[in-house]
Amino acid sequence: MLQQYRPQLSVLLLYQFSHGLEIKFLTNTHMNTSNSYSWFHKENILLLIGVLIVVLIISFSSGIRDVITSAIEFLGSIAASRPVLGMATYVGISAFAAVLSFFSSAPLIPIALVAWGPIATVILTLSGWILGGVISYTLAYYFGQPLVKKIISKEKYTHYSEFLLQKISFNLIVLFRLAVPSEIGGILLGVIRYPFGKYLLATLISELPFAIVLTYAGDAFIKQKFGSVAIYIVAITIAVAVFGYLLHREYKKNNE
């Protein structure tokens, strides 16, 4: 029965869900993705410009710079004086940020660096993000399917989910996790009940580079090397855009 569905459905599902969280694609495999892809680029460009403007303002304003530096040192000393509570709080906030798209834990990285150093910061940041990914996956695993089943028939849902689990390669899952926000990947892969072990490994592989680069960026920020901070930010933005392009190309290749 599954042979009637074309192989591009797996890539289509990942791509469409990641660009607008639209579920109606499950009943239409010929949706146009050009608008969502251009939106992806616009979002990254606007984010890049906004962050670079903030970095520029801080670098040229000694008053703002001194206030931020003092706040980082103060909060870092508090976290260092209560390591267990501080680390647990940091991991919890990082996990919370990984679940909700409107919040980021990146501004807390300099505080963690002051308190515990770079290696611990990478480990704690990565732990928080993975925990958040597990939460997103678990919520979608147990509560996401009823929502999808209200939109499409139970039979279609069963056919699509079984087909996806057969056709999606691990490399594509890693690329998907690299290209889209963590909460989106966790929700989608939880809904289709992608194997948890593979999901966890893909999350680790995809989140580790960002944890390392952001830790370097945080260290440069503390040392007031704002040119380096800008370079790291640009590098991350370009990397995400490239991953998004590769995912888009994979979709087009399988949809031809």
SS3 content of the chain, % helix, strand, coil (to 5): 85, 0, 15
CA distance 182 to 203: 8
108 contacts 143 by C-beta, under 8 angstroms: no
The two tokens of residue 114 are 């002051």
pLDDT of 209 strictly over 50: yes
CA distance 89 to 186: 22
Query: The pTM is what?
Result: 0.73
5 contacts 248 by C-beta, under 8 angstroms: no
Q: What's residue 44's pLDDT?
A: 57
Would residue 31 count as lying in a domain? no
Residue 146 or 102, more confident: 146
CA distances from 91 to 60, 128, 129, 169, 229 (A): 32, 4, 8, 30, 23
CA distance 174 to 208: 12
Would residue 251 count as lying in a domain? no
Q: Is the dihedral of CA 242, 245, 249, 255 positive or negative?
A: positive
Residue 190's φ and ψ, nearest 5 degrees, are -70, -40
Would residue 150 count as lying in a domain? yes
| Residues of the domain holding 120 | 69-223
CA distance 74 to 68: 10
Where does the pLDDT of residue 239 fall: very low under 50, low under 70, confident under 90, or very high at 90 and above? Answer: confident
CA distance 19 to 243: 13
Q: What's residue 20's pLDDT?
A: 41
The two tokens of residue 56 are 């520029």
CA distance 17 to 58: 37
212 contacts 119 by C-beta, under 8 angstroms: no
pLDDT of 57 strictly over 70: yes
Would residue 208 count as lying in a domain? yes
Q: How many domains does the chain have?
A: 1
Would residue 130 count as lying in a domain? yes
CA distance 169 to 172: 5
State the DSSP code for 6.
-
pLDDT tens per residue, range 70-103: 777 878 888 888 889 999 999 999 999 888 766 7
